[in-house]
Amino acid sequence: MTKTAVITGSTSGIGLAIAKAFAKTGANIVLNGFGSADEIRTVTDEVAGLGAGTVLHHPADMTKPAEIADLMATAVARFGGADILVNNAGVQFVEKIEDFPVEQWDRIIAINLSSSFHTIRAAIPAMKQKGWGRIVNIASAHGLVASPFKSAYVAAKHGIMGLTKTVALEVAENGITVNSICPGYVLTPLVEKQIPDQARTRGITEEQVINEVMLKGQPTKKFITVEQVASLALYLASDEAAQITGTHVSMDGGWTAQ
Ligand code: NAD
């Protein structure tokens, strides 16, 4: 039967690459994320052109629980629910703790952590009914270790690791797996935006941020590609990965081995 994948934050970067990878398997795809009407149309057409079943975009803002509930209800109404849920939407803000804006803390915790609570709780009933489900949370190396100036991001990503383990235990007998992927630095718009911010906060050049901050801790000295993360998500969603649950897989060029 055609599977349905709901991928939050899939109009850009890692989420878009994951949507494309699932599209190639013929799955129905529920896209989500921001963009102009033109950008969203382009992305939707591009994903549909890869062999997906039905592709639709839902504009739910991951800071708004009622909109997230509507996203998940749409997946139920149109496709009988999400078989595969990828919690990917995420934002970053870089500032030292004493100057960290309260509204940025609240926003990051909402998008990078609480939105996954809202999507997961809505996705589980249909997965239980089918006796099959895959939940993949895009965490980060920052779910395992910290870096300065990223208090909200690191806290949220550590939080998603705990949520992953807890839900995995709750649904372990229902054919549903729940895992996190912990990427190191992937060159996407999220990372590109951080370069000038980090340069300002640290008082160094943008080139120094890339070589001496970002890739300094990534022993391979290369950015990870969005396609590499997507292929791991595809594997975790496969039948072969049925016994991988309640854990994380790192893809960080050796970062957290240090
Ligand atoms: P990106 O900025 O390229 O894409 C983020 C996506 O989330 C976009 O589609 C955007 O529209 C969407 N989004 C943002 N705020 C939203 C909101 N309030 N509601 C709905 N959608 C929203 O980012 P990316 O680098 O592809 O990051 C994707 C995920 O991967 C994030 O969770 C991020 O923390 C994680 N991650 C990224 C890296 C990296 O180096 N890029 C490393 C580790 C983990």
63 Cβ inside 6 Å of ligand 1: yes
Average confidence (pLDDT) over 123-143: 98
Is 93 in contact with 200 (CB distance < 8 Å)?
no
Sign of CA dihedral 40, 226, 25, 123: negative
Mapped onto helix, strand or coil, the DSSP state of residue 124 is helix
pLDDT tens for residues 115-125?
999 999 999 99
- Asked if residue 154 has pLDDT above 90, the reply is yes
User: Any idea which residue has 């969203």 for tokens?
Assistant: 40
Neighbouring CB atoms inside 10 A of 77's CB total 10
Percent of the chain past pLDDT 90, that is, above it, reads 95
CA distance 200 to 84: 39
Give yes or no: 235 in active site.
no
> Measured from the CA of 59, which atom of ligand 1 is nearest?
20
3-state secondary structure 95-106: CCHHHCCHHHHH
> Measured from the CA of 35, which atom of ligand 1 is nearest?
11
- Asked if residue 1 has pLDDT above 90, the reply is no
Average pLDDT, rounded, for the chain: 97
185 Cβ inside 6 Å of ligand 1: yes
Reference 90, options 186, 21, 212, 5; nearest CA is 186
Domains of the chain listed by start with CATH number: 4-184+224-253 (3.40.50.720)
**For residue 190, what pLDDT is reported?**
79
Active-site residue, selected from the candidate residues 153, 185, 223, 255: 153
**For residue 191, what pLDDT is reported?**
87
Is 89 in contact with 62 (CB distance < 8 Å)?
yes
Average confidence (pLDDT) over 43-55: 98
- Asked if residue 50 has pLDDT above 90, the reply is yes
The CA angle 178-26-225, to the nearest 5 degrees, is: 60
User: Any idea which residue has 């939940």 for tokens?
Assistant: 135
Question: Does the ipTM surpass 0.85?
Answer: yes
Please report, as a single letter, which amino acid is at residue 88: N
pLDDT tens for residues 176-228?
999 999 999 999 987 888 899 989 999 999 999 999 988 999 999 999 999 99
**For residue 18, what pLDDT is reported?**
98
